Amino acid sequence: MLGGKISMDVIILNGASSSGKSSIAKELQSILPRNYLHIGIDTFISMMPEKSNSLDCGDGKSDGFYFQQELLEGKVVQRIQSGSYGRKVNLAYHSTVKHLADLGLGVIVDDVMDGSSEQKLWNLALGSTSTLFVGVHCCLDVLVERERLRSDRVQGSAVEQALRVHQGVVYDLELST
């Protein structure tokens, strides 16, 4: 239970960009009796050298993270990809969350998982750490509008993510924003 005597060491919020994960994380920080750090892959991307990423649409591959245009269900979308450096950073992200939890710090993770394959990576990294997996869902029309209104979003990425992030993931709790 989150509000009772038992609390999770790690709460993983998984959903597409613009689905409301950060807002949920901030609200949980304010209402839960235990203190939780809020961390996401964007924290790690902001620490990377700019030259390692190509996060503007169509700039091509990079060693870090980059977007690749794809056709999905008749729509042009942007799918995030990672080079070898990006994969190392993602592993560091997972192990950092584990380390924080091992130090006794509660952690709320704001993530865009690559379906069940990434949930397996999280489970491997976290081991026996008490973890709550939360699916954050949002209808496509709302995602597209939220993405359009935010200047820090790559247009077309939220739809692609919404169709991928929940595939095969087993949740303890699911929310619709």
Q: Which residues are catalytic?
A: 42
Locate the DSSP E strands across 93-147. 106-111, 131-137
Based on DSSP, count helices (H) and strands (E) in the chain, helices before strands. 6, 7
What phi, psi does 11 have (nearest 5°)? -115, 115
What phi, psi does 136 have (nearest 5°)? -110, 110
Q: How far is CA 106 from CA 66, 122, 156, in A?
A: 30, 16, 33
DSSP 54: B
